Amino acid sequence: MSKSELLDQLVEWRHYLHMHPETGFEEVNTSKFIAEKMKEMGYDVHTGIGKTGVVASLTSGNSDKAIGIRADMDALNIVEQTGLPYASKTHGKMHACGHDGHVTTALGAAKILAESKDFNGTVRFIFQPAEEHGKGALAMLEDGLFERFPIDEFYGLHNMPNLPEGEIHSKVGPIMGSEDNFEIKIKGIGGHASAPQMGKDPLVTASEIILALQTIVARNVDPVDTAVVSCTEIHTDGIINAIPSNVVITGDTRSYRPEVQALLEKRMRLICEKICEANEVECEFSYSNSFIPTVNWEKCHNVAVQAAKNVLGEDKVNPNANPTMVSEDFGHFLDIMPGCFVFLGGQREGVEPYPLHHAKFDYKEENLLRGAEFFAEIVRLTLK
């Protein structure tokens, strides 16, 4: 199959997936579609891994080494506004993060390798559910992913609409941040807005807390580290002329190191409890870890960079990319398995892109072939 014919096939597959989005752990039709295509290519296919995940393996030659390629499958609960002829047919669900493109890219790499068989060992394509809420990688691991389907190295990518189209960016070490979620419940004594002295105002206390939390990064985190504390929602049970009795603040934090995660939680808890104590209101603070940092292994980064240069040319590869505070549950894999995660740029010169998770986001289809050839080249380099 020629490159142009392969791209046409990938576009057709991507359009189908885009029209039929499924969210986390509901990717039944998506998994079925993937399994059928991989079986047609000659892969040994296993379904139901981590609920709706798929693992497809192909062996060529006599090496015992195995390489894993991962693609996430899930969509988002977003009403699509692209107006495209292949727009979502499921109202309220949309592939607004490009996971339809990621799946298709992996299918393309699988097809290239199935036809060429120019590698010595086993390649495993791992189609993961439920990346968006950070549960899919853990579900596959808990289902014995690496025990049942051993690999030596693991690779993945994510499209990035803010990076130049067709470029691959990577770095050694932390490339994507952790995400921790927090909830602060403040209980005071509400009352009439005209008589604040008769109550204990939790809204004023919440305001103090929100401002005080911003001092953690400025005055507690080492300047050479990076962290973000964001209060994103505030809810009350008050009305326009009444001071509320209850306020709830929610938000998240981002960082690259476990030590910083622990520091953020410790300082946030202390600030919340002491400000509430000073204002004579009750405080309930909860903090949960959602995503760990995604940290690239140097030897695998070097393989990915070389593969990208071989496929795209040296001028299209950035081996010292800026990390991002966006989170990815691929970090759970790299916490226990050598591997590398890269960014594939999608911004065309002179065109302002829609960001990930936007209702008008659409995947850059020329990248389907680029990404497929990149993954296939990784397999060739590692399975010689």
Q: What is the pLDDT of residues 78-135, one digit of tens each?
A: 999 999 999 999 999 999 999 999 999 999 999 999 999 999 999 999 999 999 999 9
Q: Count other Cβ atoms within 10 Å, centred on residue 232.
A: 10
151's tokens:
């690999």
Can you give the three-state secondary structure of the chain, one letter per residue? Answer: CCHHHHHHHHHHHHHHHHHCCCCCCCCHHHHHHHHHHHHHCCCEEEEEECCCEEEEEEEECCCCCEEEEEEECCCECCCCCCCCCCCCCCCCCECCCCHHHHHHHHHHHHHHHHHHCCCCEEEEEEEECCCCCCCHHHHHHHCCHHHHCCCCEEEEEEEEEEEECCCEECCCEEEECCEEEEEEEEECECEECCCHHHCECHHHHHHHHHHHHHHHHHHCCCCCCCEEEEEEEEEECCECCEECCEEEEEEEEEECCHHHHHHHHHHHHHHHHHHHHHCCCEEEEEEEEEECCEEECHHHHHHHHHHHHHHHCHHHEECCCCCECCCCCHHHHHCCCCEEEEEEEEECCCCCCCCCCCCCCCCCCHHHHHHHHHHHHHHHHHCC
Q: Which residues pair with 248 in a beta bridge?
A: 185, 235
Q: What is the pLDDT of residue 366?
A: 95
pLDDT confidence band for 351 (50 / 70 / 90)? confident
210's tokens:
């929100």
Query: Where does 3-175+294-382 sit in CATH, by number?
Result: 3.40.630.10
**Strand pairing category for 53-60 and 121-128:** antiparallel
Q: Where in the chain is the domain with CATH 3.30.70.360?
A: 179-291
Q: What is the pLDDT of residue 83?
A: 97
384's tokens:
């010689």
Residue that the structure tokens 């296919």 belong to: 45
Give CA–CA dist 103/69, Å, rounded. Answer: 11
Mean pLDDT over 58-75 rounds to 98
Mean pLDDT over 263-284 rounds to 98
Looking at the predicted structure, is the pLDDT value of residue 290 above 90?
no
**Strand pairing category for 282-291 and 242-243:** unpaired
CB 249 within 8 A of CB 231: yes
Query: Sign of torsion, CA 203 204 205 209?
Result: positive
Q: What is the pLDDT of residue 350?
A: 85
Give CA–CA dist 32/111, Å, rounded. Answer: 17
Give CA separation, 324 vs 7, 321, 382, in Å: 30, 9, 27
Looking at the predicted structure, is the pLDDT value of residue 282 above 90?
yes
Give CA separation, 188 vs 151, 185, 202, 209, in Å: 55, 10, 5, 14
Q: Where in the chain is the domain with CATH 3.40.630.10?
A: 3-175+294-382
Mean pLDDT over 284-307 rounds to 96
Q: Which residues pair with 344 in a beta bridge?
A: 159, 168
CB 154 within 8 A of CB 295: no
The pTM of the full predicted model, rounded to 2 decimals, is 0.93
Domain 179-291: CATH architecture, name and number where available: 2-Layer Sandwich (3.30)
Per-residue pLDDT of 142-166, as tens digits, reads 999 999 999 999 999 999 999 999 9
Give CA–CA dist 177/169, Å, rounded. Answer: 16
Say how many residues make up the chain. 384
Give CA–CA dist 81/335, Å, rounded. Answer: 37
Give CA–CA dist 196/31, Å, rounded. Answer: 58
Mean pLDDT over 305-326 rounds to 97
